A and B are shown apart, each in its own frame.
Chain A
Amino acid sequence: MTVHLSRRYRFPASHRLYSPALSEEENRDVYGKCANPHGHGHDYEVEVTVSGKVDPLTGRSVDLNRLDALAEQQILGPFRHRNLNEEVPVFRSIVPTTENLSLEVDRRLRTAWQDAFGAAGPRLEKVRIWETDRNICEITGGPAGGADA
């Protein structure tokens, strides 16, 4: 029997939404206060949804220790209490919006997934990130958005 299990994690981090390819005015127009030069922070919430068959012996669909370890190693460790623009390499060249952050989280999990769970293990179905209660981004089925991308 296949179920979808969702696990939530939190990390605080700071960022600044500012593109060097845009003028000061354009940055202000697109990002508003988020373009302030010294940056600002959020308590990000990440929800990872995994589909898997329930093991008849353990009643578990995914090894939660392994999922927690993967989240810690790929996301929470590198992002917690960091300045995303300065300290996470990918955000030196792209703006750390919730969209780009979600894509990066999805990419990191997907890259390490097979080593952690094997080819026959549970599947990564969805990543959701809450930047605030009003600002939420969801990535389903990989960065291309296709079913098997």
Chain B
Amino acid sequence: MVISKKVEFSASHICRSPQLSDAENEHIYGAAANPLGHGHNYVVEVAIEGEPDPVTGMILDLKRLRELLEQRVLDVYDHRLLNREVAPFDRIVPTVENIAIDIWNRVAPCIGGRARLYSVRVHETGELSVEYRGEK
């Protein structure tokens, strides 16, 4: 059984690789390569897989999940310039793909008990989203 929780954060980013030329960056990332950055209202859906506890009827304590997402994701990401303020985006480009993987890496080790992280879906805009389910 899979249960999911949705949270939102707002952040700015610059999609630009120092290993690519200006022309290449603009070709790959389009307007998102603007060196002064731009922002999005990101929506993150975190899905947890497990069986309901026979006593509580819950896969995991949703209050605890909320706290976990606040501490591990929102406190880190909300109202930040990702390239400057959130590791590992000083080294890798903060595309929506890399954001989903980074959120997975922050959350997965902290899901305890009977449950495990099933997927992280990040919506950058209404038109673009990414889902990451970890490595098999």
Contact = CB atoms under 8 A, between A and B. Distances in A.
Please indicate whether A and B come from the same complex rather than being unrelated chains: yes
Nearest to B119: A4
A33 interface: no
B130 A59 contact: no
A23 interface: no
B20 interface: yes
B117 to A, nearest CB: 14
A58 B27 contact: no
Contact of B129 (A1, A5, A57): A5
A54 B97 contact: yes
Interface of B: 15, 17, 19-20, 27-28, 30, 92-98, 100-101, 126-133, 135
A147 to B, nearest CB: 15
Interface residues of A, number: 19
Contact of B130 (A9, A61, A63): A61
13 contacts: A3-B97, A4-B131, A5-B96, A5-B97, A5-B129, A5-B130, A54-B95, A57-B20, A58-B17, A59-B15, A59-B97, A60-B93, A65-B30
A29 B4 CA distance: 39
Contacts, number: 63
Contact of A6 (B93, B94, B128, B132): B128
Contact of A61 (B17, B97, B129): B97
B127 A54 contact: no
Interface in A1-59: 1-9, 54, 56-59
Contacts of B126: 8
Contacts of A5: 96-97, 128-131
Contacts of A54: 95, 97-98, 101
A57 B128 contact: no
A3 B27 CA distance: 22
Contacts of B28: 58, 60, 63, 65
A2 B133 CA distance: 8
Contacts of B130: 3-6, 61
Nearest to A58: B28
A120 B92 CA distance: 23
Contacts of A65: 27-28, 30
Contacts of A57: 17, 19-20
A58 B131 contact: no
Contact of B92 (A2, A9, A56, A63): A56
Interface string A58-86: 11110111000000000000000000000
